[in-house]
Amino acid sequence: MRALISASLLAADRAQLGQEAKRMEEAGVDRLHIDVMDGHYVPQITWGAWVLEALRLWSSLPMDVHLMVEEPQVLPYIRAGAQSITFHPKTSSNPEGVLQRIKAAGCQAGLAISPLDDFMSWPSLWWSLCDCITLMSVKPGMGGQSFLPQTSSRLQTVRSKLPPIPVWVDGGITPLTAKQVAGAALLVSGSFLFSASSPKEAVMALREGAHEASKFSHGIK
């Protein structure tokens, strides 16, 4: 199965979010990625659930919400049209309850793994409630960062040691780094896509990089 491509709106022109979402849809991405930050868990502040409602006027693509907020409130984002919500368990006093609320509302639920997280110590119950895992390949909280090289080995650990849950890799994704994350089900790319003179060609380049990674992981020359 080919890896899906999700465009991170953190790298978009914020004065034209709707047009930017439409531009990415026309370029051929599979999903839109919305980073929500509250200025507490991470220094940046972005936007709330209202932005999903506004984006729906411009694009029919599935929207994935990545919450980087203290004590995440998920229902407003689900009501606004989120197809999935991932969050960092250290931001919640009850991660299990947050996962259950997301799933009960009919939305995909997932946990986000930061580069320094000791995710192997997390309770197995959490993983049993996950529909996806977001593996951060940069530090959470800011766009435009470079891909962290340890991501490749961390991805293989996630895939080999945890239950078979789709893994999404988020941050610093280019055609070159896409080749380093064999087995990822989805790649989140921001700066590379939005700064490209031809977003359509950029999407094709990411797909080719992911395809090369897939061939490598299956031992195909």
Active-site residue numbers?
35, 170
What is the rounded distance in angstroms from the CA atom of residue 84 to the CA atom of residue 81?
A: 9
Distances in Å between the Cα of 32 and the Cα atoms of 88, 110, 151, 162, 163 are 19, 16, 22, 26, 26
**In a 10 Å sphere around its CB, with 0-12 CB exposed, 13-18 middle and 19+ buried, how is residue 212 labelled?**
middle
Token reading at 57: 């006027």
Task: Determine how many CB atoms are found less than 10 A away from the CB of residue 134.
Answer: 26
Distance between terminal CA atoms of the chain? 18
| H helices present in 113-198, as ranges | 124-128, 151-161, 175-178, 191-194
Residue 45's DSSP bridge partners are 38
